[in-house]
Structure 1
Amino acid sequence: MTDTQAATPTLCRLQLGSELRQIRIRLGLTSTQVVRKLLWSPSKLTRLETGDNATVEPSDIMALCQVYGVDEATAGQLKEYAVVTKTKREWWQSTEYRPIIGPGPRAFLGLESSAAAIHAYNAEYVPGLLQTAEYVRVLHRHAHRGRTDEDIDRMVELRLRRQKVLQRDPPLKFAVVINEAVLLRQVGGPGALKAQLARIAEAAREPSVKVQVVPFKAGVHRSMNGAFSTLRFPDALALKPIVHLEHLADHWVLRRSADVELYEDAFNELQALSPGPQESLSMIENAMKEL
């Protein structure tokens, strides 16, 4: 990534962290050695290398470049990445959405928008990237009781804008396994569910989207304790895959290789237990007929 004028803050943050980590490893330096030289806390360097900071101070990057002895051109490029994180904002960081998004969801939105591929398992409801406006509205009214109608409207709009990652160029590669219960749970009533199932069927016909349904008859599986997503990033970012967990109170991200491998294996198992995309599409269409 070289065109920082067109780059998003999230991409700049992730690219910056990736390049800093590669430089440090190439020099044979440990994180401990670096933070001791700069009198930083270990977590500060970790957050920079993983792109977890909302913004990056250009002065911190120049201090790192001095320790690493990088050339002037490289230092300038890295500083530009940091400047973008300070001077530009993602669309979800606008004043319109800020009151309705906590730190966890904000961090996830950046990761989701930058991912090349997402594998998701949903046990109770349709995944966010495939939800209709009416379905979203009903979910938020129950999950966020006490919120104003205006806040709910913003939450619905936010969810629908997120779905643009499926139409971008290149589109996000989205593979999802949903529990058969999702086809039957009447969120918003029969009419709303039928429209929602039609939306899933429409998306499933896109070449970048793969939808499977794990049937009740598949029996026990190791993902029965809840939904999860794994995210993979473009090769150019040199970022390791992560796991995303979402619950009623907040969002969590797991980065440990052993955790990611556990969830990726679980997703592969779900795909093997489920009928293929065409048979799964038939299950969705049959559920629509029942309504």
Structure 2
Amino acid sequence: MITDIESATPALCRLQLGSELRQLRQAAGLKASQVVRRLLWSPSKLTRLETGENAVVEPADVMALCEIYGAGGETRALLQGYAAVTKTKRDWWQSPEYRPAIGPGFKAFLGLEATASALQTYESEFVPGLLQTEAYIRVIHQRAHEGLGADEVDRLVTVRMTRQEVLSRSESPVKLTAIINEAVLHRAIGGGTVMRDQLSHIAEVAELPNVRVQIMPFSFGAHSGMNGPFVVLSFPDRAALRPIVYLENLADAWVSRRDSDVERYVEAFTDLQALAPGPQESLSMIKKAIKEH
């Protein structure tokens, strides 16, 4: 439960609201299909509310659900407060400047990332987004999105750089644990200067107390991250939200809240963290790669 709604971000309010609405429905013994039939809603509308995907939540919709679920007056007031924040405040990625550069799946992730207390990420092909330099980001987007105009690439770069503020925000910076495949250190993105600056940046950010970086060496052979990159997001205790997994590929990006999926990826990350060398040895590998570039 959020105790200070007025200072909470819209993203956190949407997630908390969705979680509590879902709990109320389940406590009332109702299936989603029963609720949408009574309200004449589409199934997707209730799903978006319960997963926190709507940018804005209408207080009237919340009250209609509370009526069906038999929620008490205090609960109704609290949930209306969450909805009010989504209508009066705006997350930075919802502004007209950024919206054209952000797909639906990634938009959902940005809300989760901004709200998370901890991120555990494994990356096999490039530097994790929160650790990238502007020059490295620009090269990645120019290659991945060939044909985009300079203004569009600039927007994508700005989105990535703005995301990184979660690591240094004054209040509760996110705790990042990043495990990076050794191949990332040697893949020459943008040439020697770009790579030297990028790897030096990783080493610098890794000195922050809330950041831990480990490198997965070639020599360790097969490991539990070989099916691809992923991010496990955990949330503040006050939010009472379970961890979520974020996945993406060339065609799509999505989050999974299914307990079995989350458990599988948490176990995979635990295995990777135990297998990979610690931060100091990993830092030595990064410094060696800088010299090679």
Q: Which interval holds the TM-score relative to the shorter structure?
A: over 0.9
- 1:60-71 superposed matches below 5 A: 60-71=61-72
What is the alpha-carbon distance in structure 1 between the residues aligned to residue 134 and residue 249 of structure 2?
21
Amino acid at match of 1:155: L
TM-superposed deviation, 1:117: 0.8
TM-superposed deviation, 1:61: 0.7
- 1:44-55 superposed matches below 5 A: 44-55=45-56
Amino acid at match of 1:282: S
What is the alpha-carbon distance in structure 1 between the residues aligned to residue 152 and residue 30 of structure 2?
48
Aligned residues with identical type, % of pairs? 60
In terms of mean alpha carbon deviation, does 265-274 or 187-196 score higher? 265-274
TM-superposed deviation, 1:37: 4.2
Amino acid at match of 1:87: T
Preserved contact between residue 58 and residue 82 of structure 1 (Cα < 8 Å): yes
TM-superposed deviation, 1:47: 2.7
What is the alpha-carbon distance in structure 1 between the residues aligned to residue 4 and residue 120 of structure 2?
29
Aligned residue among 260, 263, 268 for 2:262: 260
In structure 2, the residue matched to 1:100 is 101
Amino acid at match of 2:195: L
SS in 2 for 1:54: coil
Specify every segment of 5 or more residues in structure 2 that has no aligned partner in the other structure, as ranges.
Answer: none
- 1:1-291 superposed matches below 5 A: 1-32=2-33, 34-168=35-169, 169-291=171-293
Preserved contact between residue 115 and residue 232 of structure 1 (Cα < 8 Å): yes
What is the alpha-carbon distance in structure 2 between the residues aligned to residue 41 and residue 92 of structure 1?
26
Specify every segment of 5 or more residues in structure 1 that has no aligned partner in the other structure, as ranges.
Answer: none
SS in 1 for 2:233: strand
TM-superposed deviation, 1:209: 0.7
TM-score by length of 1: 0.93
Preserved contact between residue 222 and residue 266 of structure 1 (Cα < 8 Å): yes
TM-superposed deviation, 1:237: 1.5
In terms of mean alpha carbon deviation, does 5-14 or 44-53 score higher? 44-53
TM-superposed deviation, 1:57: 1.9
Cα deviation 1:11-38 (Å, max 9, x = unaligned): 1111111222333444555545544544
SS in 1 for 2:122: strand
Residues 44 and 96 (structure 1 numbering): CA distance in 2 closer, same or farther, change over 3 Å?
A: closer
TM-superposed deviation, 1:275: 0.7
TM-superposed deviation, 1:155: 1.3
Cα deviation 1:191-218 (Å, max 9, x = unaligned): 1101101111111111111111000000
In terms of mean alpha carbon deviation, does 83-92 or 251-260 score higher? 83-92
Cα deviation 1:74-133 (Å, max 9, x = unaligned): 312211221222332211111111121111111111111011111111101000000000
TM-superposed deviation, 1:135: 0.3
Cα deviation 1:221-243 (Å, max 9, x = unaligned): 23223111111111222212111
Structure 1 moving runs of 4+ over 6 Å: none
What is the alpha-carbon distance in structure 2 between the residues aligned to residue 66 and residue 9 of structure 1?
24
In terms of mean alpha carbon deviation, does 180-189 or 39-48 score higher? 39-48
Number of aligned positions between the proteins: 291
